[in-house]
Structure 1
Amino acid sequence: MRAIVWYGGSDLRIEDIPKPKLRNERHVVLRVKFCGICGSELQAYKGCSTRRVPPLVMGHEFSGEVVETGSDVKEIEIGDRVAVNPIISCGRCLACLRGRQNLCLDMKLIGMHMPGAFAEYVSVPAENCVKLPSEVDFEEGALAEPLANALHAVNRARPSIGDSVAILGPGPIGLSIMLLVQTIGVESVTVIGRSEDRLKIAEKFGANEVISIKNEKELMRIGEEVFDMVFEAAGSWQAVKTAIKFVKKGGRIIIVGLSHLKPMEDIGLMSITTKELDVLGSYGYTAFEFQKAVRLLSRLPMKEMITHIFPLSRAKDAFELLSQRKEPVLKVLLELDNGL
């Protein structure tokens, strides 16, 4: 089969590798349909992250069709259309027993610790497969993973109807957070970011206000201590510092973006103390949240976030587009099953 093998930095190669076999009798083999490119994979491509070790077939935001099942698999059948939760947990540690599989002591991620879905086929545990509702197509199914990340962040934050909410970073996860807090009934949502095109999408999705960080006059107009809750979804320490500035005393900051850019002491620990802020991390999602995200796909305009779809053979072009952003881009999918 063909796969996109990452050899470190921007070195991506299309190679013929053996088709995966069932790892055990509780696994299934999928024909991958679509796989999204995550910001963490882009960071690996740009040489900014060491969390993945080459050579590696990346890809963890994916949907596919079941083509083979192990003898002990009863809940999934050949031909089923599924989205895959890429978090593989041990099921035995205290975190797993508490339903917090994202904090498993022996957590593995498909596409990081084992071959992922930047390939025509992939072998995964049956229990990680969630059947797609009939009204959800494969493209939308590949968006279940970023939506689950957003859902976990919102569940951690526990927003109330009367809260004023700001979201820093209008990427796929930031925009998904916006859509989710709106479903709860939060009426005051401000989205702040750098990309004018992404801010326009936030406005289209119903943000009460969108502000470009390039517009210093607008940022000054906001003032300080104006939001009850701020989601940091940009993945930068500067965004964390901005969140501390904008959140009210006694407010809550939820850090969703992953950053390797600045040391911890730069973010303003004194303000966290003197303003008595609740600063929460949000990492991944639970198995239940992934299942719920799949059910939510048909209720949210997630598909409108997809701006580009590339065939497997043009994976390099897809990564370069995201890296250079020479044209408006939000969510990029790779189509693995079109023969190109």
Structure 2
Amino acid sequence: YCRQGRDNLCSDRHMIGMDWPGAFAEYMAIPARSVVALPAGISLQHAAITEPAATVVHALRLTQRALQMPLAEANALVIGGGAIGLLTVLVLRAWGCRQITLAETNPLRAEAAERHTGCASINPIETPVEAASQQLVIDAVGAGPTRKLAVHAVKPGGVIMHIGLQDWDSEIDMRKITLSEITLLGTYTYTMEDFHLTLSMLEQGALGALGWVEQRALQQGANAFDDLESQRVSAAKILLIP
């Protein structure tokens, strides 16, 4: 996998916060090969968005290969207005896609997404998504209901990109996927090539001003997690600043 440039699938790959302890320590040691120099002029706060944004860049690069049309010409439904969903909208826009709808049930996040990205948003519980209406569906939640919504919404011959990992098991309509010739893609993190491409995009301002990212002091970390869990904030991402 590493020789193929698919280092995200390496069986000996380690990730801080997943199989290695998280980085809420004053100091930590990481391999030198994992250090990426920041371009001049990019702030640490903006650079911190590189990791989740690279996950989106990797997913959409895979999507481009599967779509039967240019990404810019597709109509897309993004399910979930968290950091991954919001970044998906921003990367889609940066790559020319203009027909984007965000499905988000939290009204605070939906309003913030519309304000910062200009995309239309709907609450899919209150406003059902039309069946077989989307050439591309990105599930940035990964729950049973969102997987069902993705299959419901995608057009015959369309693509579902599955990024979210909220639930482990759920039923999925494989009969529709088969008879409608739908491409269902899974994606896992990013390669170093994706990471460097994403950092370059952030340096160029391709993802906008990132005003939707909220910053709090590290001492407020516990409250930040609680606010995110309870859906009391509009921010899709909270950065904790030491």
State TM-score, norm by structure 1: 0.65
Determine whether 1:234 maps to 2:141. Answer: yes
**Number of residue-to-residue matches in the alignment:** 235
Q: What's 1:118 paired with? A: 24
The percentage of counterpart residues that share the same residue type is 30
Deviation per CA, 1:216-257: give whole Å up to 9, x if none.
xx22xx421111000000121211110101100010000000
The equivalent of 1:165 in structure 2 is 76
Out of 213, 217, 225, the position equivalent to 1:306 is 213
Question: Could you say if the C-alpha distance between residues 206 and 115 of structure 1 is closer, same or farther in structure 2, counting changes exceeding 3 Å?
Answer: closer
Q: Which runs of 5+ in 1 are unaligned?
A: 1-94
Q: Which runs of 4+ in 1 moved over 6 A?
A: none
Task: Please tell me whether residue 137 in structure 1 is matched to residue 137 in structure 2.
Answer: no
2:52 is the alignment partner of 1:146: yes
Query: 1:167 touches 1:232 (CA, 8 Å); kept in 2?
Result: yes
Asked whether 1:335 is paired with 2:241, we answer: yes
- Residues 248 and 97 (structure 1), Cα distance of their counterparts in 2 relative to 1, 3 Å cut: same
Structure with the higher fraction of residues in strand conformation:
1
1:5-31 Cα offsets, whole Å, 9 max, x none, are xxxxxxxxxxxxxxxxxxxxxxxxxxx
Paired position in structure 2 for 1:255: 162
1:181 equivalent in alignment to 2:92: yes
Corresponding position of 2:67: none
1:287 pairs with 2:183: no
Task: Please give the alpha-carbon distance, in whole angstroms, between the structure 2 residues aligned to 1:241 and 1:302.
Answer: 34
| Structure (1/2) with the larger helix percentage | 2
Structure with bigger RCO (C-alpha 8 Å, 6+ apart): 2
- Any conservation in 2 of the 1:99–1:286 contact (CA below 8 Å)? yes
Task: Rate the CA distance shift 1:208–1:110 in 2: closer, same or farther, 3 A.
Answer: closer
Could you tell me whether the CA contact under 8 Å between 2:74 and 2:99 is conserved in 1?
A: yes
In structure 2, the residue corresponding to 1:271 is in which secondary structure? helix
- Offset at 1:114? 2.5
After superposition, the Cα gap between the structure-2 partners of 1:326 and 1:201, relative to the gap in structure 1 and judged at 3 Å, is closer
- Secondary structure at the aligned position of 2:161 is classed as strand
Structure 2 gap segments, 5+ residues each: 65-69
Q: Bigger CA drift: 327-336 or 230-239?
A: 327-336
Q: In the alignment, what sits opposite 2:103?
A: 192
Larger Rg: 1
Distance 1:232 1:259 in 2: 11
- Which residue of the partner structure matches residue 4 of structure 2? 98
* 2:231 is equivalent to residue 325 of structure 1: yes
Match of residue 44 from structure 1: none
